[in-house]
Structure 1
Amino acid sequence: MEQQQKQNTNKFGNWVKTSITARMLMVGTLVMILLLPLSYISSLINERSFRQQDVVNEINGKWGNNVLVYGPILKLPYKTYTETTIYNKETKTYATETETKIKYAYIFPENLDTQITADSKTLKRGNFESAVYTSSMNFTGNYIKPQLASKDIKDEDIIWDKASIIIKTSNLKGIKNEMFINLNNSKYTFETNFNNTQNTYLNELESSFIKKEDAPIDVSKSFNFSMTFNGSKLIQIIPIGKTTTMSMASNWPDPSFIGSFLPDDETKEITKDGFKANWKVLHINRAFSQQHLNAIPNLSQFAFGTKFVVMVDEFQKSERSAKYGFLVIGLTFLIFFLIQTMSKINIHPFQYLMIGLALVMFYTLLVSISEHSNFLKAYLVAGISVVLLITLYSKSILKNIKFPLFIGVSLTALYTFIYVIIQLENYALLVGSIGLFLILAIVMFVSRKIDWHNG
């Protein structure tokens, strides 16, 4: 009975050693096992990425956050009347009392033109970086007489000498100049309005009361003002002019045009030295009117402008690289499997496991080194270390120099291929698909000589 068990054990051991099917099952199982440490590495990259975002937010908070400008808006007070009928029990008569209340109309400009220049750069802390800029924004435009009769507001009820100008912005802290507006050749300064309860995302600046002769009572009144910001990430405005135009120029080479409206293709220029773009938005292009009662509406969804993109950062590159971990492990094991099958050299499962763990270590080296250097240097150090380690280790397994050299060259080509894909933006999927197709073709060509029926 014991002899029979030994014979069965020997048969199973021989089957594992000689059967192609058994080796395939073993390699497949090891690949699946190694997916577990790969998932932990992906979690580590995400954790470090969140840390990077915290640092970027801290940098931006100190320099200046994103810039959104909503204005200038003419705040126009007007009188409303409420009549109340009161019955007097003693005289048995009715008396009518009229209560006067002040409400506000908010008038948008007829034309609004914005000229923006942004001097951009990156700020770094360790290996973390953020896109920041100093922007100069010049606004010009005009108001025409408000047509409030359609809203049952009479001209004589408008309190022109209590009118003011409101500007809203997302980055009050980043303003670097004294704020004032020139209206009909008169100068009015701004103060922060702490009573603002609308649009809490935006801070509100309100001017002093404008002179009656500067208000658009009968004729159009022009205005201009400037704002200088320290900001980060993006610049946007809300197109409140009946006709809104904006031009923007910057030395930032990687803009992303965002929001509800895109710049004119004919005027857009993007080079390695920066970009220029022009927008034009008509009132017919947006879904809001030029006059609003009681409150300034939240129109942030209509904002447009430019995002200053930091092209694929270090952690994004590491994350994209880790996504190819399954491919690297699978193809490396496939190479060893083909060598083992074609040369009849035995490779123990433990040796496969050691090779797989070395491949996984590539990603921990990449992430840790890239935090203290740029991605290319980290990739080179991690790649060369792992390729040399596996090449030297495979020499002790395969007992010759030919196969280890082939493995070293193959791994070098594979890591180079993945690095190229990571750097590409628009063509990553295309190049990756072509590369995988060529790899599949090579494997099919090499494996055609294997006798698959002998396993």
Structure 2
Amino acid sequence: MNTDTPQPPQISRASQDALVTIRNWFAKRALFFKIILIGFLALVLLIPLGLVSDTLSERQSRYAEAVASIVAPWGGSQRITGPVLAIPFTHKVETEEWVVSGTHRFKEKKSHECTVVAYFLPDHLNVKGTIEPSARKRSIYTAHVYSALLQISGKFARPDFNFPGYKDITPQWDQARVGFLINDLRGVRESLTLAWDDERFAMQPGDGIYAESGLHAQLSAQAAQNGGDFSLSLTLNGSNAFEITPLARSTKMALNSPWPDPSFCGDYLPVTRNVTPEGFEARWETSFYARKAPQQWTGNQNTIPARELAKGSFGVRMMPAISAYRIVERSIKYGVLFIALVFTVFFLFEIVARVRLGALNYLLVGATLCVFFLGLLALSEFVAFGLAYAGSGAIATLMIGFYCARILRSAKRALAVGAMLGGVYAYLYFVLRMEDFSLIAGTAALFAVLGAVMYATRNLRNGSRAGRDDSA
């Protein structure tokens, strides 16, 4: 019986030479393949970054729902349009009608009385107010609201019913009414009275003109006929923005508030403003030349819809200048830059310190960077963004630093990585806080990183040190 052990097949000399050639070919291009691997890992990490971005979108939606539930009973964005004086009048209209008498059929002129509404805008409108901001919380979410303490005054000229195309005009003075359009009447918390010269008129719900949201007062015949000065004290709760529509020949508004970050909005900017950390003061002045509506019109001629009448408003927006969610969103957009900078640091360690790192090392460090963004999102819902950024960044830096102490086999190298990572976080925080110059700052960082890589690898050639004989 043959008990000889079978021998493995012998590799030919030619096959051995081919394997050596392939091994040498890959060895000479090890640097190239390493860069390709690092780039591939960076692209793979876009997946968890996308998941963090989806989580951010979900939290933003929940925040919007919470804010809407807080604002709903308080009052939304407020815009006051008015006042507008509406006075019905009758006029004669002559028509021709066919009349049959016996065997004769002929036209006969007949006169009918029709009722039309005339609308008048004020000559002067002055608005003075103080906007008191406050915060309302629900669970972990905060909504910013305000109470506007307003004094609205102005003057109406004597109504002129010289409308062309109307005959035998008879104003119905006792049916005159003056109305204000107000976006959200839930913000009105008190009974209101309109002062007109020496008379007082209770304000009623409804604008009394367009059947829109607002307030109106029924005037006496004497008040409507003579025109006069009016005033209204109004406390209006709202959120987000406060605006008025300049309907008078001359409109002036002066506002002050302890809100430190106003955003002036609308078609007109303040003529003067003073914004400090303690609040702002602003004053607007406009004339009727930029207004699309005429000074007076009738319901059957040049009728102006309410939405057209409310155009051209101006005011102030009472929202935080930069929300935490917006900054977190911007930081996630810079996530690739985070990963690229940190991976570059590790790559330079491999080149300069001749420390070999595996794909798993890069992947775990990249995963820690991705978790940093999730921690930033979670902490920013409870504390200020700066504290959230510092806390999440410190945790990620410590985790990576302790990990590097093992994989780099040196505490000094781990401290160097931690210091560089802290510098990266600090610089990118600086970029995130910038509004107008964030792009150029981020681009400068990329140029700096590319320059560092080029300098560190200036002596490399085909994966070997310059000066070595690659053919050996």
Please point out which of 87, 98, 121 is paired with 2:111: 98
- The DSSP-based 3-state class of the residue aligned with 2:88 is strand
Aligned partner of residue 131 in structure 2, secondary structure: strand
What does residue 222 of structure 2 align with? 213
1:144 is aligned to 2:157: yes
- Letter aligned with residue 387 of structure 1: T
Aligned counterpart, 2:342: 332
The 2-side partners of 1:40 and 1:53 are apart by 20
String of CA shifts for 1:126-166, please: whole Å, max 9, x gaps. 44222211111111111113344243346742222211101
Aligned counterparts, 1:213-252, within 5 A = 213-217=222-226, 220-252=227-259
Which residue does the alignment assign to 2:267? 260
Aligned residues of 2:180 and 2:207 also touching (Cα < 8 A): no
Find the counterpart in structure 2 of residue 408 from structure 1. Answer: 418
1:291 maps to amino acid? Q
Distance 1:317 1:167 in 2: 39
Distance in 2 (CA, whole Å) between partners of 1:237 and 1:17 is 73
The count of residues paired between Structure 1 and Structure 2 equals 447
Alpha carbons 1:66, 1:233 under 8 Å: kept: yes
For the Cα contact (< 8 Å) 1:260–1:302, is it kept in 2? Answer: yes
Alignment pair present for 1:112 and 2:122: no
Superposed counterparts of 1:26-425, under 5 Å: 26-91=37-102, 92=104, 93-153=106-166, 156-193=169-206, 203-208=213-218, 210-217=219-226, 220-264=227-271, 267-294=272-299, 295-297=303-305, 298=307, 299-425=309-435
Displacement, 1:114? 0.6
- In the alignment, is the contact (CA less than 8 A) between 2:27 and 2:463 conserved in 1? no
Distance 1:378 1:336, change over 3 A: same
- Superimposed CA distance per residue, residues 150-188 of structure 1 (whole angstroms, 9 cap, x where no aligned partner): 433467422222111011101201112212211121111
Residue 369 of structure 1: CA displacement? 2.6
Partners of 1:451 and 1:335 lie apart in 2 by 20
| 3-state DSSP of counterpart to 2:410 | coil
Matched-pair contact (CA < 8 Å) for 1:142–1:223: yes
CA distance in 2 between partners of 1:16 and 1:251 (Å): 68
- The 2-side partners of 1:196 and 1:213 are apart by 20
The alpha carbon displacement at 1:230 in A equals 1.3
User: How far did residue 35 of structure 1 move?
Assistant: 1.3
Kept in 1: contact 2:88–2:171 (CA 8 A): yes
SS in 2 for 1:240: coil
What is the alpha-carbon distance in structure 1 between the residues aligned to residue 442 and residue 421 of structure 2? 16
Comparing 397-406 with 189-198, greater Cα deviation is found at 189-198
* Distance (Å, rounded) in 2 between the aligned partners of 1:125 and 1:449: 61
Larger Rg belongs to: 2
Greater Cα shift, 315-324 or 281-290: 281-290
Identity of aligned residues (%): 27
- Does the Cα contact within 8 Å between 2:93 and 2:167 map onto a contact in 1? no
Identify if the C-alpha distance between structure 1 residues 250 and 16 changes in structure 2 by more than 3 Å, giving closer, same or farther: farther
Matched residue SS, 1:89: strand
Query: Retained in 2: the 8 A contact 1:252–1:273?
Result: yes
Q: Normalising to structure 1: TM-score of the pair?
A: 0.90
For 2:239 and 2:119, the matched residues in 1 are separated by 30
Distance 2:355 2:28 in 1: 10
How is 1:3-42 mapped onto 2 (pairs within 5 angstroms)? 3=11, 4=15, 8=19, 11=22, 15=26, 19-42=30-53
On the 8 A contact 1:16/1:22 being kept in 2, the answer is no
Give the 3 Å change call, closer, same or farther, for CA 418–155 of structure 1 in structure 2: farther
- C-alpha distance in 2 between matches for 1:337 and 1:45: 31
- 1:345 CA drift (Å): 2.2
1:65–1:233 Cα contact (<8 Å) kept: yes
The answer (yes or no) to whether the contact 1:106–1:293 under 8 Å persists in 2 is yes
The answer to whether the Cα contact below 8 Å between 1:75 and 1:164 also exists between their aligned partners in 2 is: yes
Deviations 1:262-311 (A, max 9, x none): 001xx310000100011100111333211132255323331100001212
Partner SS, residue 260 of structure 2: coil
Question: How many angstroms apart in 2 are the aligned matches of 1:223 and 1:194?
Answer: 17
Cα gap change, 1:255 to 1:225, in 2 (>3 Å) = same
Gaps of at least 5 residues in structure 1 are none
Report the alpha carbon displacement of residue 453 of structure 1 after superposing the two structures with TM: 6.2
* Residue pair 2:146, 2:238 contacting (<8 A) in 1 also: yes
Residues 181 and 207 in structure 2, CA contact (< 8 A), matched pair in contact too = no
SS in structure 1 opposite 2:350?
Answer: helix
Judge conservation of contact 2:29–2:462 (CA < 8 Å) in 1: no
Q: Is the 8 A contact 1:68 1:170 kept in 2?
A: yes
* TM-score, with length taken from structure 2: 0.87
List per-residue Cα deviations over 1:405-450 (Å, max 9, x = no partner).
1111111111112222223334434544444444444444433344
Contiguous gaps of at least 5 residues in structure 2: 1-8, 466-472
Equivalent-residue separation in structure 1 for 2:371 and 2:459 (angstroms): 34
Structure-2 change in CA distance of 1:423 and 1:243 (3 Å):
same
Q: CA deviation at 1:381?
A: 2.5
The one-letter amino acid paired with 1:386 is: A
Paired amino acid for 1:222:
D
